[in-house]
């Protein structure tokens, strides 16, 4: 199996390399737009923190720009261009776009698998928009953004990874050169300045690239059904931790630092919860007693908002834990300054 994966990875890497070469040589056409587009992406599959990064950008830039978020809407059951509304089902628009729209209802949020078409529709239907954040579009080379922000997981840097399916890379490490800003995510709390310097040196950034180191801040859990559930979970409470995300270990560990985690339920990334699964969770909670609550991620939470599918006993105990992007050494202002400089000066 290992040999077959290595062969498949070699073939996949060759195919990706040829495609990138065709774009680099301008044999394949890439569309340019006058409106500034910021791409937030990665070169590996799995959760590197793109959604928290988009939300951070919205929180810092919405007062200065009129922003639209353009996403593919991964695993939605629809096709084409859809403008996301707060009340939309995640099945229609995808879980992450729905999450972003619920947190930033004044922002335009759009899903469209064809990004060029998505940009054209945004420009035509929302002429007030003067900045587009393209979520997960680094491999979508049919469109050239004004600025690219590339995320890389500290625990698995590109030079220690392998191409799919032998590893998790969906693009070759050489493509790091296309990024203007590199965000190293999920850095350990105990990362020393020496470790930071080593990580930066091993990435071998070009002189035009800036590197920032980040982790995530775990915020206070909040109830999904605030009218029937308490506003807060007391420290030390018994918790059933539930997550349908890539690499849920960090989420579980963060809860274990504050609560007594009595059960861990891990599902696949972007998991769609069936009614029978929700009922089993409700039964599990009942087994542990009245003081036990369920805490899940924000991405899972948007799929658990329908009262008719959530037993009343579970509605009273169902919480989500928001996360926020956190910059090491208070570098967030430097990151925003660098991004604004890119938006102002970079020519396409």
53-69 tens-digit pLDDT: 999 999 999 999 999 99
Pick the CATH number of 33-217+327-345 from 3.40.50.970, 3.40.50.300, 3.20.20.100, 1.25.40.10: 3.40.50.300
Per-position DSSP letters for 176-226, written without gaps between them: GGG-SEEEEES--TT--HHHHHHHHHHH---TT-EEEEEEEEEPPPEESST
199-208 tens-digit pLDDT: 998 888 999 9
Per-position DSSP letters for 329-348, written without gaps between them: GGTHHHHHHHHHHHHHH---
Q: In the sheet where 108-111 sits, what is the strand order?
A: 82-83, 108-111, 67-71, 131-135, 37-42, 147-153, 181-185, 210-218, 323-327
311-344 tens-digit pLDDT: 999 999 999 999 999 998 889 999 999 999 999 8
180-230 tens-digit pLDDT: 999 999 999 889 999 999 999 888 899 999 999 999 999 999 999 999 999
How many percent of the chain have pLDDT more than 70?
99
The ranges assigned to domains in the chain are 33-217+327-345, 220-321
Residue 1 has pLDDT above 70, yes or no: no
73-124 tens-digit pLDDT: 999 999 999 999 999 999 999 999 999 999 999 999 999 999 999 999 999 9
Q: What is the pLDDT of residue 177?
A: 94
Average pLDDT over residues 228-238: 95
Residue 347 has pLDDT above 60, yes or no: no
Q: How much is the pTM?
A: 0.94
Q: What is the pLDDT of residue 163?
A: 95
Beta-sheet pairing, 108-111 with 82-83: antiparallel
Residue 346 has pLDDT above 80, yes or no: no
Residue 41 has pLDDT above 80, yes or no: yes
CA dihedral 332, 333, 336, 340 (to 10 degrees): -170
125-170 tens-digit pLDDT: 999 999 999 999 999 999 999 999 999 999 999 999 999 999 999 9
Per-position DSSP letters for 105-118, written without gaps between them: TTSEEEE-SSHHHH
Q: Give dist(CA 294, CA 223) in Å, integer.
A: 10
Q: What is the pLDDT of residue 330?
A: 82
251-270 tens-digit pLDDT: 999 999 999 999 999 999 99
Q: What is the pLDDT of residue 313?
A: 93
CA neighbours within 13 Å on the CB side: how many for 259?
A: 25
Q: What is the pLDDT of residue 277?
A: 95
Q: Give dist(CA 348, CA 345) in Å, integer.
A: 10
């Amino acid at each position: 199996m290992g040999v077959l994966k290595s062969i498949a990875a070699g073939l996949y890497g060759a195919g990706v390399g040829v495609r990138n070469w065709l774009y680099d040589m301008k044999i394949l056409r890439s569309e340019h737009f006058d409106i500034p587009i910021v791409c937030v992406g990665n070169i590996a599959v799995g959760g590197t923190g793109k959604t928290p990064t988009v939300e951070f950008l919205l929180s810092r830039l919405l007062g200065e720009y009129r922003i639209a978020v353009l996403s593919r809407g991964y695993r939605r059951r629809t096709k084409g261009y859809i403008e996301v509304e707060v009340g939309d089902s995640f099945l229609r628009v995808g879980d992450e776009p729905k999450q972003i729209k619920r947190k930033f209802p004044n922002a335009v949020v759009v899903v469209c698998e064809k990004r060029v078409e998505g940009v054209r529709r945004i420009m035509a239907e929302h002429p007030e928009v003067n900045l587009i954040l393209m979520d997960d579009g680094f491999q979508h080379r049919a469109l050239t953004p004004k600025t690219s922000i590339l995320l890389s997981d500290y625990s698995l840097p590109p030079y220690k990874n392998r191409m799919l399916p032998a590893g998790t890379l969906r693009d070759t490490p050489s493509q790091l050169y296309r990024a203007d800003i590199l965000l190293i995510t999920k850095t350990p709390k105990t990362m020393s300045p020496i470790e930071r310097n080593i990580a930066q040196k091993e990435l071998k950034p070009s002189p035009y690239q800036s590197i920032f180191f980040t982790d995530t801040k775990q915020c206070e859990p909040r109830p999904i059904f605030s009218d029937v559930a308490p506003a807060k979970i007391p420290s030390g409470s018994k918790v059933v931790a539930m997550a349908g995300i890539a690499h849920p270990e960090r989420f579980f560990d963060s809860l274990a630092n504050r609560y007594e985690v009595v059960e861990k339920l891990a599902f696949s990334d972007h998991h769609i919860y069936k009614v029978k699964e929700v009922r089993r969770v409700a039964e599990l909670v009942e087994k542990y007693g009245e003081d036990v609550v369920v805490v899940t991620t924000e991405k899972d939470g948007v799929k658990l908002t329908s009262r008719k599918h959530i037993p009343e006993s579970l509605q009273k105990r169902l919480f989500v834990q928001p996360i926020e992007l956190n910059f090491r050494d208070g570098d967030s202002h430097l990151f925003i300054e660098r991004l604004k400089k890119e938006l102002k000066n970079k020519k396409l």
